[in-house]
Structure 1
Amino acid sequence: MDPARRICRAGAMKPPVHNVPAGELLKLLDELAAFSVPGPGVTRLLYTPEWCGAQLFLQQRMKSLGLEVRQDRVGNIYGRLSGSGAAAAEQVILTGSHIDTVVNGGRYDGAYGIAAAVTVLHYLQQTFGRPLRSLEVVSFSEEEGSRFPLTFWGSGNVTGLYDGSSREDIADAEGVTLGAAMKACGLGGEAASAGVSAETAAAGGKDYDDAGADGAGAAGTGSVDTGSAVTGPAGSAAVTISRPLRSDIAAYLELHIEQGIVLERSARQIGVVQAIAGQRRYRVTVSGTANHAGTTPMGLRRDALAGSAEMLLALERSAAEEGDPLVATTGRLEVYPGTPNVIPGEVQFTLDIRHSDAGILERYCPQVLEEFAAIAARRGLKLEIQPVLMTTPAPMDKELCAALEQVCLEQGKTYLRMVSGAGHDAQLFAPLCPAAMIFVPSRGGISHAPDEYTPPEELAAGMQVLAAILYKLAYTEEGVIEDRG
């Protein structure tokens, strides 16, 4: 993927009116939501039976719609509508999102982008036939970080963030390693467990032992027994297996719910994302002295909780002074020993700071951490700060954003230029190829919860925008992707 590539917007042909059937999208969302652990909302974690079932279902659905289906060795699923142009194989327009969820999450996060992409590709094929440039829908295996202490496992393998070398060093809360979970889903690199029948492998079928650095075989996703093992069906032998790393993606577009309240409050139908905020995450430990709550005078205490509370109030104040779009959050706070009549001797808390400007992040984070250190020193406390995550802001492609705004104008849809405070797969593609995101409103700004909801008409509006931009990129000469000077 050449970062010098750009989208050319030549030509002035009148765009067709796109009427993508919203009913197909809603039905597909309902079907995907069924692949969940019983309980509130949707729970579909990486390499679990529910995940396997959803990915197999998508393979079958894509194939039934006439798409060329393949899967890579970390479980990403692709459906391709091949282009007819001379450079079609080198100019793939990719769209989709992630199939995994948080625990007790909603039915739209990730799944909406996949379901809309599948629906749109089917519509474009039925309405306009074969495109000039290849179109692909992707269902990324993982983005949330809900089961294992990593994020973007799906798109990260596609873009080169991961090479699979650390999968035996990463484990979930139950002690199951990423490698073991992959193997349980048929991703262990052995033909018999790779979603292909032993007979096919013995007959000289595809070689699943050439996994290279990734060390993974075919993603057999579907046949689930009552235990923990998940084996691939023999029928998946018809699905082409590929290495995760890609070099043929010319542009990436992701349709997603906003997961915030900005669009709803501004009464806009579409969000055109200008950038995805960078993140800094820290684990902070404040240590004092645990002592008797009744016999230790207030002036002689080294109270770790009181010191932490002062730090968090300072964080809130400084973030408010910095102003939007900077946000700073503490989502977890643990107090030790946690006894009513004992002064807290240690507190651990998380720190999450986000902004779309790398320079502001670089300035603000050390500034607030220095203030924490000053508070600790004044109170006689020990302070330890461990960086956990550092991601740079990801600006979206300006020409693709302009093209999306033009689509909204053509369709008579209201839109808003905005920054995404949440991380998305698109941020991994942004340094490598033109990338863009389309947001639709989230009711009440609620996401990662069972109450996550976007009305059908707003889901349909986002899908119509996606259809129009994919048509421009794949079916018209104005969507040609060229190298910059």
Structure 2
Amino acid sequence: MVLSAPGSQTLAPTAQLKRPSVNAVRLLASLEAMAEVGLQPDGSICRRGFSAEDRQGRELLSEWLIDAGMSLRIDAAGNLIGRLEGSEPNLPALVSGSHLDTVPTGGRYDGTLGVLAGLELVRCLKDASLQLRHPFELIVFADEESTMVGCKGMAGTASGDPSDYTTSNGDPIERNLARLGGDWERLTTAARSDDAIAAFLELHVEQGAVLEQRGDSIGVVQGVVGQRRFTIRVCGQANHAGTTPMDQRQDALVAAAQVVLAVQTMALEHPGDPVATVGRFEVWPNAANVVPGEVQCSVDLRDLDPEVLASLSAQLEERLASIAEASGCSVTMEPQFSVDPTPAAPLLMEAIAASASALGFSHSALPSRASHDAQELGRRWPMGMVFVPSHRGLSHSAAEYTSLEQCVAGTSVLLEAFLRLDAQLSG
């Protein structure tokens, strides 16, 4: 059977199997070679989804996967899928993967480490002449940084309306998918069946500073947080900055400043550890000698618990009403989008933690506050994520850095976790 994400099964002690080990020199060489694809003068990486650089990176990886003994295919959602058959090929697949596309000034580890760790896993199995019981698949998901069409297509959650996809190059999603070998007209065929996948594990750099501050080598991800995003519009009265007395103003910017502080206070005071951000801010008429008449800003709420997100949203609405009454301004709140949290499967969290302990790596649990391909896969199949530290919490920039030792640690835990799951999961 295929495990359900909230299942109550536990892992038995791992059988004494021949354990392959990660080749650090080989992993580094792969990371450095892939970093050359889309390398910018400032040291950042630019492989936007569907771009020539994105395709070049996928072609390079394809060569490596074939050399490692994997069969390759591209599904209708543009996902590049490498498969290594198991000794019991009718079992559901153990799956890993991430993405190779980047933001305009990306780093060399975001997404890429997860893909190349999966490649190293296959190479390690080949080195040790070891075959898993389950088939193993490594997936490069299409366009994670923009549309997430790849992971959503595989999970069966992708929209069938092309206008719902805002691509980084501005081209229609139909044309972009064709560039990768996908097929918009057959997008629904990318959705896998319930019994196709036994478990999905993704290795990723944390993109935050929690593990570094804790001094831990490995993060056992509890799940990917949900998001609620709103547009807040504050409407007052634009007026002359010199001739309008202070007690006769409807200053939209002053009211909006109270919104910003209310958002921060709301998150700090809430039990647990939610985050709330005002990240976009626009003022009209934005002139030095005019009392601001209108402000528009964004509010981004994130937490792993859907009840916390609902509570924060309700609190935000109440605080906006109070600010409107006190300021004399109109304050409205318009939902932009809502993404539900995806919890990690307890069984997979246990496998990751046990693997880290067995290999002597310190570890702790934390949520992922950024979206990942695992978020969509986890809506259908048991999902787990392994985090490794990001120096100073920097990501999506040339300054993104995870040491080779940390990359090897994460890859080793990923490999060990899959070996444990392969030995324990039933068909």
Q: Deviations over 1:231-270 (max 9, x none)?
A: xxxxxxxxxxxx4211211110000111111111111111
Look up the match of 1:34: 36
- Look up the match of 1:227: none
How far did residue 308 of structure 1 move? 0.7
Match of 1:275 among 223, 229, 240: 223
Q: Is the 8 A contact 1:20 1:463 kept in 2?
A: yes
1:241-320 mapped onto 2 (5 Å cutoff): 243-247=189-193, 248-320=196-268
Counting only pairs closer than 5 Å after superposition, residues 411-422 of structure 1 correspond to structure 2 as 411-422=359-370
The answer as to whether partners of 2:78 and 2:181 remain within 8 angstroms in 1 is no
Code of the aligned partner of 1:284: I
Residue aligning to 1:116: 117
What's the offset of the Cα at 1:2? 5.5
Question: What's the secondary structure of 1:181's corresponding residue?
Answer: helix
Q: How does 1:77-226 map to 2 (within 5 A)?
A: 77-85=80-88, 88-145=89-146, 150=147, 152-163=148-159, 165-168=160-163, 170-172=165-167, 175-185=170-180, 187=182, 211-212=185-186, 214=188
The one-letter code matched in structure 2 to 1:129 is L
Alpha-carbon distance change, 212 to 144 in structure 1, aligned in 2, over 3 angstroms: closer
Alignment match, 1:222: none
Deviations 1:81-129 (A, max 9, x none): 11121xx344100001122222212111111100111111121133133
Instruction: After TM superposition, give the deviation of residue 473 of structure 1 in Å.
Output: 2.5
Q: Is residue 54 of structure 2 the alignment partner of residue 54 of structure 1?
A: no
Q: Which of these residues, 387, 391, 410, is aligned with residue 358 of structure 2?
A: 410
- Say what the alpha-carbon RMSD is for the aligned residues: 2.1
Listed one character per residue, the Cα deviations across residues 45-103 of structure 1 (whole Å, up to 9, x for unaligned) are 11111111112222222112211111112221111111121xx3441000011222222
Report if the CA contact (8 A) 1:94-1:137 is conserved. yes
Give the residue type in structure 2 aligned to 1:440. V
TM-score (norm: length of structure 1): 0.82
In the alignment, is the contact (CA less than 8 A) between 1:81 and 1:125 conserved in 2? no
Mapped partners of 1:345, 1:43: distance in 2: 40
Percent sequence identity is 34
Task: Give the partner amino acid of 1:71.
Answer: I
Per-residue deviation, 1:418:
1.5
Give, in angstroms, the shift of residue 10 of structure 1: 3.6
The verdict on how the C-alpha distance between 1:180 and 1:305 changes in structure 2, with shifts beyond 3 A counting, is: farther
Q: Which residue of 1 aligns with 2:67?
A: 64
State the alpha-carbon separation in 2 of the partners of residues 102 and 83 from structure 1: 35
Runs (5+) with no aligned partner, structure 1: 190-210, 215-242
**Count of residues in Structure 1 that have an aligned counterpart in Structure 2:** 422
Describe the SS at the equivalent of 1:350. Answer: strand
- Relative distance call for 1:106 and 1:321 in structure 2 (3 A) is same
Unaligned runs of 5+ in 2: none
Aligned CA distance change for structure 1 residues 406 and 452 (closer, same or farther; 3 Å): same
CA 1:362–1:466 in structure 2 vs 1: closer, same or farther (change >3 Å)?
same
Whichever residue aligns with residue 47 of structure 1, its letter is F
Contact 2:68–2:122 (CA under 8 A) maintained in structure 1: no
Structure 1 residues 433, 213: CA separation in 2 closer, same or farther (over 3 Å shift)? closer
Secondary structure of the corresponding residue to residue 102 of structure 2: coil
- Which sits farther off after the overlay, 66-75 or 28-37? 28-37
Partner SS state of residue 473, structure 1: helix
Q: Is the 8 A contact 1:2 1:432 kept in 2?
A: no
In 2, the alpha carbon distance for the partners of 1:105 and 1:425 equals 17
The one-letter code matched in structure 2 to 1:125 is K
Q: How far does residue 278 in structure 1 lie from its aligned partner after superposition?
A: 1.3
The answer (yes or no) to whether the contact 1:8–1:480 under 8 Å persists in 2 is: no
* 1:359 aligns with one of 307, 312, 317: 307
How far, CA to CA, are the matches of 2:90 and 2:286 in structure 1? Answer: 60
Cα distance change of structure 1 residues 94 and 186 upon mapping to structure 2, 3 Å threshold: closer
TM-score, structure 2 as length reference: 0.93
- Tell me the residue number matched to 1:480: 426
